[in-house]
């Protein structure tokens, strides 16, 4: 499903490509489509698609906009990707629920908004709270204002201050997700601080899924299961479950190499890249070089096998 607004292709039909500034208009047309593809995971570590997954739609066209089959409850917090800007606000793609949504200008952020320069950039990942649905097409309405998003409990803030002191992070705005994530990122590699991180995940922290997924890099499968169990049922937990299985496979192949050609179609590009980074066995690398999901993966495996690989460009 690719969203391209008819307003974004207006003017491309002129017969003279020079007069119509063809190159610039093509770039303007391609950019929104690319951002939607990124939002859908078309070029992400997690998915690989070789053909469109559905019809082309225009989220701004009330006659053809997609209608949600299952509405997300009001008050739910979702991860989304900004896919377009316009004078009334911004459009987002909520990948976990397969829905487009809209954020009106006043709901984008707290404080004054001068114009689109104050909007999150197209392609940016933002957390949002569901306000409800409106209109005949039941358009999803959201808010990305910090004041509307749930925050840490008082105990969670106390735990955060302990972690901040331990990692020497300096001044941290506890209400700023970017500040908190910087602290969590620094803390996760430390076993003693992971105890506090595990506790903070249950104290209103909207970054719990990100904390859990990052922690899985540093723990074995048994402990990783206790981290995944911190998450509620849903797409976020499904992602963590898959990442737990992938790390278990990667560690197993590092210790006990074997042929994996038959496994590769079911392994994500992310997992195949991590394998190239960590395994040294020609047995594994040969299968990746022959059957990897992308040219980049196959080339990386060949270079690693030949002793020439210097990391991802």
- What CATH number is attached to the domain comprising 91? 2.40.50.140
Distance CA 223, CA 221 (A): 6
Query: Which residues fall within 8 angstroms of residue 202, CB to CB, at 6 or more apart?
Result: 208, 230
Contact indicator for 303, 277 with CB cutoff of 8 Å: no
| pLDDT tens by residue, 213-249 | 999 999 999 999 999 999 887 757 888 999 999 999 9
Based on the fold, state whether residues 243 and 163 are members of the same structural domain: yes
Strand partners, 133: 140
Q: What is the pLDDT of residue 34?
A: 54
Whether pTM > 0.75 for this model: the answer is no
Is residue 87 assigned to a domain? yes
| pLDDT tens by residue, 11-51 | 444 445 455 555 555 554 455 455 555 444 444 444 443 33
Based on the fold, state whether residues 122 and 166 are members of the same structural domain: no
Number of structural domains, the chain?
3
Answer with the one of 148, 169, 188 that is the final residue of a domain.
Answer: 148
Mean pLDDT of 166-182: 83
Give Cα separations from 271 to 98, 244, 262, 290 (angstroms).
24, 11, 15, 16
Based on the fold, state whether residues 241 and 173 are members of the same structural domain: yes
pLDDT band at 80 (very low <50, low <70, confident <90, very high): confident
Contact indicator for 140, 129 with CB cutoff of 8 Å: no
Based on the fold, state whether residues 199 and 235 are members of the same structural domain: yes
Is residue 18 assigned to a domain? no
Is residue 186 assigned to a domain? yes
Based on the fold, state whether residues 122 and 204 are members of the same structural domain: no
Mean pLDDT of 51-70: 53
Average pLDDT, the chain: 80
Q: What is the pLDDT of residue 39?
A: 45
Read off the DSSP letter of residue 72: P
Based on the fold, state whether residues 158 and 201 are members of the same structural domain: yes
Any alpha helices (H) in 168-294, and if so which ranges?
177-187, 191-200, 208-215, 221-228, 235-255, 269-278, 282-291
Distance CA 186, CA 193 (A): 10
Mean pLDDT of 186-202: 92
Q: What is the pLDDT of residue 312?
A: 83
Distance CA 57, CA 69 (A): 16
Name the residue range of residue 261's domain.
Answer: 257-305
Give Cα separations from 282 to 10, 204, 259, 279 (angstroms).
53, 46, 10, 9
Read off the DSSP letter of residue 293: S
């Amino acid at each position: 499903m690719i969203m391209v607004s008819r307003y974004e292709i207006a003017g491309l039909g002129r017969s003279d490509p020079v007069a119509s500034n063809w190159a610039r208009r093509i770039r303007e047309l391609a950019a929104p489509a690319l951002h939607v593809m990124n939002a859908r995971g078309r070029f992400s570590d997690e998915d690989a698609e070789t053909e469109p997954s559905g019809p082309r739609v225009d989220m701004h066209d009330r006659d053809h906009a997609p209608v949600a089959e299952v509405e997300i409850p009001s008050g739910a917090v979702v991860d989304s990707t900004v896919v377009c800007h316009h004078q009334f606000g911004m459009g987002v793609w909520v990948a976990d629920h397969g829905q487009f949504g809209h954020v009106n200008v006043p709901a984008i952020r707290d404080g004054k908004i001068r114009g689109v320069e104050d909007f999150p950039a197209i392609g940016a990942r933002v957390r949002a709270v569901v306000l409800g649905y409106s209109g005949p097409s039941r358009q999803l309405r959201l808010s990305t204002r910090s004041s509307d998003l749930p925050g840490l409990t008082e105990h969670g803030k106390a735990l955060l201050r302990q972690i901040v002191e331990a990692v020497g992070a300096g001044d941290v705005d506890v209400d700023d997700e970017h500040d908190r994530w910087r602290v969590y990122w620094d803390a996760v590699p430390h076993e003693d601080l992971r105890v506090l991180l595990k506790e903070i995940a249950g104290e209103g922290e909207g970054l719990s899924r990100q904390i859990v997924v990052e922690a899985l890099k540093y723990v074995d499968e048994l402990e990783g299961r206790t981290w995944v169990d911190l998450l509620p049922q849903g797409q976020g937990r499904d992602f963590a479950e898959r990442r737990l299985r992938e790390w278990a496979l990667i560690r197993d192949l590092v210790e006990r190499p074997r042929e994996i050609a038959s496994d590769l179609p079911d392994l994500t590009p992310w997992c195949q890249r991590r394998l190239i980074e960590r395994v040294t066995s020609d047995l594994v690398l040969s299968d990746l070089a022959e059957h990897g999901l992308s040219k980049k993966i196959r080339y990386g495996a060949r270079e690693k096998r030949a002793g020439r690989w210097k990391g991802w460009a």
